[in-house]
Amino acid sequence: MPRKKTRGAALAALALTLLTTAASAADIGDIRWTNDVRFYGDNTEVGGPYRDGETILGGQLLSFFEVPVGERITILAGGYADVRSGGDDDPNDSEPILSFRYRTGERSTFILGTLQTERRHGLIDPIQVSTLELTRPVESGMQYVAAGDDWSFDGFINWQRENTPEHREAFDYGVVAAWELGAGFGLEGQIHGFHVGGQLYDAGEEVYNNVVFAPGARWTHDFPIVGQSRVRAMYLLSTTTEDEAHPERPTDGDGIWLELSVQPWERTRLFGVVWQGEDFFAAEGDPNYGSPGTEPDFYEPERDYKELGAEVSFPIEEKLTFTAEGRLHWIDDRSTEFSFRVYARVPISFVVRQARGHRP
């Protein structure tokens, strides 16, 4: 195992020992051991100039202790491991889980360390590609999440790489907010940025920034036969540092994203996506929405992309979730492509130490 991972695991174990001792002495609340076991298979048979096909198959384990150290403060300490099928015996990826979570209100929390990353914070595919749910389920940095009866907010910064003599620092950041207006109508806004920079060392790399702004609206209503239906429309505006290899390309782009989904059965969702873009680019977005291709010299200013998909959840056990998703892709005027995903998640949680005076 690389020295970085070994050091991270040792740090997590030391922190866990100290935190458990402190919580035992304080006797503030229950100490819980949470294990989130995940199994996934994702096959993207998408050919074309924008995105290469890939298959991701494996399993993940997120295991951590939740230790209350104050009336409003909880510490998470543990580790994460991802093992890809067809890889070597060691985890393909592993990280410590260390998180300071301060509850600032009944439904608001400030987080320092390991973040909450459910469904990519809610970012849509043109802004963050869906496979990040499998390849980067653990992020670290700072975050503030809050919600009310008719609104929600998630603001975060995820530190991906520190500034060293070998490379510049890199991080992404974002804000996802939504407001319910009544009668099924709502507003939402998303901002996401990716930055490469740093003042200590430049390592020969140029400073780079990519930012996407996405205001939008949605409407949800129950109809006969098709069930709960939702329409979402968002306008996306991207701005990117000039490409020195292609200075003639625009640095600003935009696009319109429209999604229609229906739920004719309790555990089945059908959806369609239409996208029209011009010179749009998101550094972490699904490349099928952007103008640049996989080859450095390929660039298509005006983009036309469509999706048609279905997501089905299968009832197995109360706490186990198993979903299957399939999509058809129409990329510009090229042939129809397809992708599918299967995903199983098993959360297991135990109380390993009860607070003094607590009785089940």
Q: What is the mean pLDDT of residues 77-90?
A: 79
**For residue 84, is pLDDT > 90?**
no
φ, ψ dihedrals at 8, nearest 5°: -65, -40
Q: Is the pLDDT of residue 171 over 80?
A: yes
The rounded distance, in Å, linking the Cα atoms of 170 and 159 is 7
The reported pLDDT for the residue numbered 327 is: 96
* Mean pLDDT, the chain, integer: 88
**What tens digit of pLDDT does each residue of 264-291 get?**
998 999 999 999 999 999 999 999 999 9
Residue in 174, 142, 197 with CA at minimum distance from that of residue 284: 174
Mean local confidence (pLDDT), 314-319: 76
Is the pLDDT score of 30 beyond 90?
A: no
Going by pLDDT thresholds of 50, 70 and 90, the confidence category of residue 21 is low
Burial class (CB in 10 A: 0-12, 13-18, 19+), 359: exposed
Q: What is the pLDDT of residues 179-195, one digit of tens each?
A: 999 999 999 999 999 99
Is the pTM higher than 0.85?
Answer: yes
Residue 3 confidence (pLDDT) = 45
Mean pLDDT of 93-121: 93
Q: Residue 2: which pLDDT band, with cuts at 50, 70 and 90?
A: very low
Q: Taking residues 95-123, report their average pLDDT.
A: 94
| Residues 6+ positions from 278 with CB-CB distance below 8 Å | 253, 254, 255, 291, 301, 302, 303
Query: Above 70 in pLDDT, residue 343?
Result: yes
**What separation in angstroms does the CA of 105 have from each of 108, 148, 349?**
5, 11, 25
Q: Which residue has the higher pLDDT, 355 or 222?
A: 222
- Give the per-residue pLDDT at 114: 96
The answer to whether the Cα torsion of 96, 84, 314, 310 is positive or negative is positive
Looking at the DSSP bridge assignments, the partners of residue 304 are: 276
Percent of the chain with pLDDT over 70: 88
pLDDT at 167 (0 to 100): 79
Note every long-range contact of 148-155, with CB atoms under 8 Å and residues 24 or more positions apart, other chains counting.
Answer: 148/107, 150/179, 150/180, 150/181, 150/182, 151/177, 151/178, 151/179, 151/180, 152/176, 152/177, 152/178, 153/177, 154/116, 154/121, 154/122
Angle at 329 between CA 328 and CA 330, to 5 degrees: 130
Query: CA 7, CA 20: separation in Å to the nearest integer?
Result: 20
Q: For 2-31, give the DSSP string.
A: -HHHHHHHHHHHHHHHHHHHHHHHHT-S-E
pLDDT category of residue 350 using cuts at 50, 70 and 90: confident
Task: Report the pLDDT averaged over residues 190-201.
Answer: 89
What pLDDT score was predicted for residue 151? 97
Give CA–CA dist 344/36, Å, rounded.
11
Q: What is the mean pLDDT of residues 284-302?
A: 95
* pLDDT at residue number 87: 61
Task: Provide the token pair at 279.
Answer: 């010179």
Q: How far is CA 62 from CA 6, 77, 274, in A?
A: 17, 11, 35
For residue 57, the cross-strand partners are: 41
Could you tell me the domains of the chain? 3-353 (2.40.160.10)
